[in-house]
Amino acid sequence: MLVRQTGELERSRDRGSANRRTGSKSHRALPESLLQGLQPTVCPACLFASGAAPGRRPGGEVFPQGRPAAQPRVRGGLDAPDLAPQPLTPGGGEVWLLSGSAPGHWTADRPAAAAAGAMPVGGLLPLFSSPAGGGLGGGLGGGLGCGSSRKGSGPAAFRLTEKFVLLLVFSAFITLCFGAIFFLPDSSKLLSGVLFHSNPALQPAADHKLGSGARAEDAAEGRARRREEGAPGDLAAALEDNLARIRENHERALREAKETLQKLPEEIQRDILLEKEKVAQDQLRDKAPFRGLPRVEFVPPIGVENREPADPAICEKRAKIKEMMKHAWNNYKHYAWGLNELKPISKEGHSSSLFGNIKGATIVDALDTLFIMEMKNEFQEAKAWIEKNLDFNVNAEISVFEVNIRFVGGLLSAYYLSGEEIFLKKAVELGIKLLPAFHTPSGIPWALLNMKSGIGRNWPWASGGSSILAEFGTLHLEFMHLSHLSGNPIFAEKVMNIRKVLNKLEKPEGLYPNYLNPSSGQWGQHHVSVGGLGDSFYEYLLKAWLMSDKTDLEAKKMYFDAVQAIETHLIRKSSGGLTYIAEWKGGLLEHKMGHLTCFAGGMFALGADGAPKGLAQHYLELGAEIARTCHESYNRTFMKLGPEAFRFDGGVEAIATRQNEKYYILRPEVVETYMYMWRLTHDPKYRKWAWEAVEALENHCKVNGGYSGLRDVYLLRESYDDVQQSFFLAETLKYLYLIFSDDDLLPLEHWIFNTEAHLLPIIRTDKKEAELKEK
Ligand code: DMJ
């Protein structure tokens, strides 16, 4: 379809930071609830004083990398089995657990412990000391710390028991002080909640971050409702409301903190692990529908027995095409295995920006052609590579459209043909990865997506930031199959929503513009094309109807309405009698037809059968006319291969006049149309024309290292573009092979080709119900 394949498109990468979602470092280790409980009120000292607790220095600073020195065992005190600090986090270093420091077991030996670096109560006293050391800290900390002379005023000579009593009193006092601090609500919240935001109209609905619980939310809802109902602000009620909320928060925080403090370190660690597991499970549950695939019975494919054609001449031609496939595959394997495409002249890999860092485009694109051509070893090699190497966790932008038609389509097709689960698994995995592209206000997906970050955007050149019709309109078939196979409706919902958006829009002259803005859900520039930017949207409307066993009548109507508008406004006949499809730009016609547009001959013929009354023959003939025009575009070149675009103005017909439209990149659209025309009419000219194309490919595109595109099909000598496109193996060679095969190889009554020629079976439904609906 659009600007493509040659990789020439330069993209500005104004990405947002991929780290946006990274949590703050200090919150990494503890479960949210624990943090919520501790942060506003807990003073680290209290935690130490009460036993095992996460160790942070005042002000939230955590212990430095070096662990706090191990505490010696306290004689006569709490029997702490292991006084070494315990890291609370697997990584350690941030939060430490100290055990065995309880004031109730304070002993005369305690100072030694304090001096050794542990921080029992005594260690906290300097917080209260006066510079002269005469305050509490000086009196007690100093006295106890040295255990000898008393300095300054105060009791001069206490006996040991008195000291002990005093110590107890002070301990109780300090515990009370800290307890009070601990119990007090966070003053900043109190102030902001009660004083500054007392007007209910300014109040946020509910502070979910605080985990305020159902009651606070209910209250907030009530306030909101009152506001909606126009009730005057009730200051007293609001204050009460706030206080209740604060009280509740703190009660909860307190409860959690108390519970935590009562726990043994092992219990805390176990809780952390459990909490972590729960978070992981929640994340999985969000993805639950995708986690496992429902058991879908594999239905053996119809029409994959590959008999030799009875006519030896045809048989030979078909064998030749298989040879071409071998040449293309072997060279890719030899020079570019595992990379996306092959550079057949340079004999190395070619990477296209369309796939980001996803690798193996040729392998996935070629799978079903290998299968159909019975290249069994090659198919197994490809499968093994996919099993081991196909990875979608790439931190780079991909084209949603290209990845869908080649990778999702290729994997689904391989699954339907072979029944190998790995292809299904990979297809669904990739489908999930593409879902964030739909996170736009309208649900019309972005063109480009970073599959790792889930950030999408549109091509910078697209009109007004629009998404492209042929891109978002070419997801339907694959996504319907993803839902069908995975049992998860999400894929189908996404593409059905696209249709909903389209159906709500006014169409200029019944035509679909190529550009649609995903934010506004409105059309961009009124350019209409059945070639690049528009093409496969129309193809997928028709095929959605066919693939649904003709039950998707909405798609059918959309398709035939669109074709009617196209005929009226875009299809013209040249003075030389060639029918062509022009491009429409805001009501003006550009008399140019792209190579891409040539697929439409096959489309018209394929849809003829379901055409409104009396039009079936007409559409079949229209298909034949387009096939003839496209054949002419080939025939009028020196290489006998068609240019990228040809014109019907300035005295020429079916000839490229601009240098930048003279290239041929191994595209399939013309032979694709020959394939449908052959199957639907059996007119031998289509085999003849197809064979001309084979000869031209052999004469001009075949090189030692594979097949190359050409820069100018009018030149007498080949100028190679040095790319063997993956669609050459997926489409061009497959269609050619089918033209020289019997019709019972992949019969059109059972199979739909996606726009990359990957095979999707018709999803059978209750026919009668459909017929009734149609009536
Ligand atoms: C293929 O990738 C698909 O056919 C797509 O729809 C447009 N054309 C290229 C090959 O030309």
If you take atom 8 of ligand 1, which residue's CA is the nearest one? 1
Whether the CB-CB separation of 622 and 644 falls below 8 Å is answered with no
Confidence of residue 672 (pLDDT cuts 50, 70, 90): very high
At 530 the pLDDT is: 98
Cα of first residue to Cα of last residue in the chain, in angstroms, is 36
> Residue 117's pLDDT is what?
33
Q: Does the CB atom of residue 655 touch ligand 1 within 6 A?
A: no
Phi–psi pair at 674, nearest 5 degrees: -60, -40
Ligand 1 centre distance from Cα of residue 755 (Å)? 6
| 355 CA → ligand 1 middle, Å | 14
Q: Which has the higher per-residue pLDDT, 227 or 477?
A: 477
Q: Is the per-residue pLDDT at 716 higher than 70?
A: yes
Distance 756 CA to ligand 1 centre (A): 6
- Tell whether the model's pLDDT for residue 310 goes beyond 90: yes
Give the residue-averaged pLDDT of 182-192: 40
Q: What is the pLDDT of residue 352?
A: 87
Quickly count: other Cβ atoms within 10 Å of residue 26's Cβ. Answer: 15
Q: What are phi and psi of 395, to 5 degrees?
A: -95, 65
Mean pLDDT for the stretch of residues 68-77: 31
User: What DSSP character marks residue 594?
Assistant: E
Torsion sign, CA atoms 644, 646, 650, 653: positive
Ligand 1 atom 5 nearest Cα: 1
- pLDDT over 80 (residue 29): no
Confidence of residue 93 (pLDDT cuts 50, 70, 90): very low
Per-residue tokens: 424: 């299904």
Residue type present at position 434: L
Would the pLDDT of 685 be above 70? yes
Two tokens, residue 386 = 């996919």
Strands 341-343 and 348-350: antiparallel
**Which ligand 1 atom minimizes the distance to the CA of 599?**
4
Residue 536 CB less than 6 A away from ligand 1: yes
pLDDT of residue 598: 99
Angle at 360 between CA 359 and CA 365, to 5 degrees: 135
* pLDDT mean across residues, the chain: 77
* 223 or 749, greater pLDDT: 749
The pLDDT assigned to 274 comes to: 65
CA 530 – CA 584 distance, rounded (Å): 10
Which residue's alpha carbon is at the smallest distance from atom 6 of ligand 1?
A: 755
What is the residue with the minimal CA distance to atom 3 of ligand 1?
Answer: 756
Annotated catalytic residue 644 = yes
- The span from the CA of 190 to the CA of 196, in Å, is 9
Q: What's residue 772's pLDDT?
A: 60
What is the pLDDT at residue 697? 99
Q: Residue type at 193?
A: G
* pLDDT level of residue 482 (50, 70, 90 thresholds): very high
Cα 235 to averaged position of ligand 1 atoms, centre (Å): 66
In this prediction, residues 555-564 reach a mean pLDDT of 98
Give the residue, by CA position, lying nearest to ligand 1 atom 2. 756
Is residue 552 within 6 Å of ligand 1 at its C-beta?
no
Q: Is the CB of 514 under 6 A from ligand 1?
A: no
Return the residue whose CA atom lies nearest to atom 9 of ligand 1.
Answer: 1
Cβ of 322 less than 6 Å from ligand 1: no
Cβ(756) – ligand 1 distance below 6 Å: yes
pLDDT tens digits, residue range 118-131? 333 333 333 233 33
Kindly state if the Cβ of 667 falls inside 6 Å of ligand 1.
Answer: yes
Which contiguous run of DSSP H or E holds residue 226? helix 213-228
Give the number of the atom of ligand 1 that is nearest the alpha carbon of residue 672: 4
Say if residues 525 and 745 touch (Cβ distance below 8 Å): no
Q: Among residues 123, 153, 120, 157, which one has the least CA distance to residue 139? A: 153
| CA 534 to ligand 1 center in whole angstroms | 12
Lowest mean pLDDT among 168-182, 542-556, 670-684: 168-182
What is the DSSP pairing of strand 467-468 with strand 397-399?
Answer: unpaired
Distance CA 39, CA 248 (A): 15
pLDDT at 258: 76
Q: What is the best residue among 402, 413, 644, 755 to mutate for testing ligand 1's pocket, by most ligand atoms within 8 Å of CB?
A: 755
Closest atom of ligand 1 to 474 CA is 6
The answer on pLDDT for 308 being more than 80 is yes
Cβ-based neighbour number of residue 396 at 10 Å: 16
Q: What are 621-667's pLDDT values in tens digits? A: 999 999 999 999 999 999 999 999 999 999 999 999 999 999 999 99
pLDDT number for residue 459:
98
Would you say the CB of residue 1 lies under 6 angstroms from ligand 1? yes
Compute, in angstroms, the gap from residue 587 CA to the centroid of ligand 1.
27
Beta bridge partners of 341: 350
Residue 752, beta-bridge partner list: 760
727, 732, 733, 753, best to mutate for ligand 1 pocket (most atoms within 8 Å of CB): 727
The pLDDT, as a whole number, for residue 162 is 78
pLDDT, tens only, 454-472: 999 999 999 999 999 999 9
Residue nearest to atom 7 of ligand 1 (CA): 1
- Output the residue whose Cα is nearest ligand 1's atom 1: 756
Q: Which of 23-32, 350-359, 549-558 has the lowest mean pLDDT?
A: 23-32
CA of 168 to the centre of ligand 1 (A): 85
Angle between helices 409-418 and 421-434 (to 10 degrees): 160
Residue nearest to atom 10 of ligand 1 (CA): 667
What separation in Å is there between the alpha carbon of 210 and the centre of ligand 1?
A: 53
Report which of 699, 693, 694 is spatially closest to residue 717, judged by C-alpha positions. Answer: 699
- pLDDT tens digits for 592-614? 999 999 999 999 999 999 999 99
Q: pLDDT tens digits, residue range 331-363?
A: 999 999 999 999 999 999 999 889 999 999 999
Task: Check pocket membership of 727 for ligand 1, CB cut-off 6 A.
Answer: yes
What is the pLDDT at residue 57?
Answer: 33
Atom number, ligand 1, closest to the C-alpha of residue 757:
4
Span 158-176, pLDDT tens digits: 677 777 888 888 877 777 7
Q: Which helix (H) or strand (E) holds 388?
A: helix 376-389
Among 514, 667, 676, 732, residue to substitute to test ligand 1 (most atoms within 8 Å of Cβ)? 667
What is residue 296's predicted lDDT score, i.e. its pLDDT?
78
Catalytic residue among 378, 644, 672, 718: 644
Cα 654 to middle of ligand 1, angstroms: 21
Q: Give Cα 368 to chain centroid, integer Å.
A: 25
Tokens encoding 221: 């809802």
Q: With 60 as the cut, is the pLDDT of residue 531 above it?
A: yes
Question: From ligand 1's centre to the CA of 495, what distance in Å?
Answer: 20
- pLDDT of 236 reads 74
Q: Which residue has the higher pLDDT, 103 or 403?
A: 403
Query: What tokens were used for 550?
Result: 């003709």
Residue among 403, 756, 758 whose CB has most ligand 1 atoms within 8 A, to mutate: 756
- For residue 163, the model assigns a pLDDT of 79
Q: Which atom of ligand 1 is nearest to the CA of 406?
A: 2
pLDDT score of 438: 98
Q: What does the alpha-carbon distance between residue 581 and residue 224 come to, in Å, rounded to a whole number?
A: 58
Distance 667 CA to ligand 1 centre (A): 7
The rounded Å distance from CA 382 to ligand 1 centre is: 22
**Where residue 371 falls among pLDDT bands split at 50, 70, 90?**
very high
**For residue 712, what pLDDT is reported?**
98
* pLDDT over threshold 90, residue 181: no
pLDDT of residue 1: 44
For the Cβ of 755 lying below 6 angstroms from any atom of ligand 1, the answer is yes
Instruction: Name the strand (E) or helix (H) holding 501.
Output: helix 490-504
For the residues 204-212, what does the mean pLDDT come to? Answer: 30
**Which protein residue's CA is at the shortest distance from atom 11 of ligand 1?**
667
Report the nearest atom of ligand 1 relative to the CA of 536.
Answer: 6
